[in-house]
């Protein structure tokens, strides 16, 4: 199923879809995609973090290292099969400052490994919301937490290169960005590896394009592929017919 133009509907309609999509992604991750010892939870609160999906490791012992030392089993090794995104960028070594001051564990002391963030219209509707979103994402990477960013909305006045571009600018600390969002493909999916130097694997898409599977990193050298297309399709099928008609260009008369 191709990506729809979600600007055709209100934020509340996308929120309903967003909530369903989160549930299908969580189910896919917990039903065999994540290696043994990992699990995903939706809509959990981590201090001042509010995220869509948390990927957690079940070891209840407090981590002594910033990035937990995990088994080499499970996931795909980057050295054996690099992620199949069309674009990859390596950021300067100083772009991500690893810090020990940020709480990175679940309330049960399970280790937080990665975040999945699905962008909503409210993340882009004003400058302070963009800044808050970018600060949260940068802080997560700085704490050694990997990040998958899914942005199905075109750039606006507060994120002219999309939220991915704004995050890159933040991480590069106002150095030359060397990145421009293509006008023909204004939607972005980006997987950040929290390491030094940081790496990001990303794809651009247009409305009407299919979604690719995107890597979600569990370690700096191991990842799983998240089935975005299949989970998107499942969530979309549950949307009311009225709104599917609007999104598919069959808007009822008078809408």
In the chain, DSSP finds a helix count (H) and a strand count (E) of 5, 12
* Domain-located, residue 36: yes
Which is more confident, 127 or 196?
127
Provide mean pLDDT across the span 7-34: 93
* Domain-located, residue 43: yes
Percent of the chain with pLDDT strictly greater than 70: 78
Percent of the chain with pLDDT strictly greater than 90: 49
* Domain-located, residue 129: yes
Single out the residue of 128, 106, 126 nearest to residue 115, CA to CA.
Answer: 106
- What's the confidence (pLDDT) of residue 103? 29
* Domain-located, residue 1: no
- What's the confidence (pLDDT) of residue 238? 96
- What's the confidence (pLDDT) of residue 92? 61
CA 88 – CA 199 distance, rounded (Å): 7
- What's the confidence (pLDDT) of residue 66? 35
The pair of structure tokens assigned to 195 is 């390491």
Torsion angle (degrees, nearest 10) of CA 31, 36, 37, 39 = -20
CA 165 – CA 169 distance, rounded (Å): 6
CA 80 – CA 222 distance, rounded (Å): 10
State the Cα angle at 118 between 104 and 67, rounded to 5°. 25
- What's the confidence (pLDDT) of residue 42? 85
Secondary structure class of 106 (helix, strand, coil): coil
* Domain-located, residue 252: no
Which is more confident, 119 or 254?
119
Q: C-alpha distances in angstroms, 31 versus 17, 24, 36, 38, 104?
A: 21, 10, 11, 11, 24
* Domain-located, residue 145: yes
Provide mean pLDDT across the span 204-218: 95
Mean pLDDT score of the chain: 81
- What's the confidence (pLDDT) of residue 150? 95
* Domain-located, residue 221: yes
Burial class of residue 116 (count of CB atoms within 10 Å of its CB; 0-12, 13-18, 19+) = buried
| Host domain of residue 152 | 6-68+75-247
| Model confidence band, residue 87 (pLDDT cutoffs 50, 70, 90) | confident
- What's the confidence (pLDDT) of residue 123? 92
Name the domain count of the chain.
1
Secondary structure class of 54 (helix, strand, coil): strand
* Domain-located, residue 254: no
- What's the confidence (pLDDT) of residue 237? 96
């Amino acid at each position: 199923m191709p990506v729809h133009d979600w600007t055709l509907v209100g934020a509340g309609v996308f929120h309903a879809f967003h909530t369903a999509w989160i549930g299908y992604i969580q189910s896919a991750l917990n039903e065999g995609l994540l290696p043994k010892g990992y699990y995903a939870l939706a809509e959990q609160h981590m201090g001042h973090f509010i995220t869509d999906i948390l990927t957690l490791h079940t070891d209840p012992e407090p981590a002594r290292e910033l990035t937990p030392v995990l088994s080499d089993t499970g996931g795909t090794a980057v050295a054996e099969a690099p992620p199949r995104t069309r674009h990859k960028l390596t950021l300067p070594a100083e772009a991500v400052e690893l810090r020990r001051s940020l709480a990175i564990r679940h309330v049960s002391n399970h280790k937080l490994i990665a975040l999945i963030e699905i962008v909503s219209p409210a993340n882009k509707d004003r400058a302070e919301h963009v800044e808050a979103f970018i600060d949260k994402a940068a802080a997560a990477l700085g704490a050694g937490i990997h990040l998958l960013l899914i942005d199905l909305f075109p750039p606006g006045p507060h994120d002219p290169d999309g939220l991915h571009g704004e995050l890159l600018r933040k991480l590069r600390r106002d150095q030359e960005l060397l990145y421009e969002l293509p006008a023909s493909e204004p939607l972005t999916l980006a997987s950040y590896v929290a390491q030094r130097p940081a790496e990001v694997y990303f794809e651009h898409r247009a409305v009407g394009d299919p979604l690719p599977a995107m890597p979600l990193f569990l370690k700096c050298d191991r990842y799983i592929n998240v089935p975005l297309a299949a989970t998107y399709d499942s969530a979309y099928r549950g949307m009311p017919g009225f709104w599917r008609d609007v999104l598919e260009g069959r808007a009822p008369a008078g809408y």
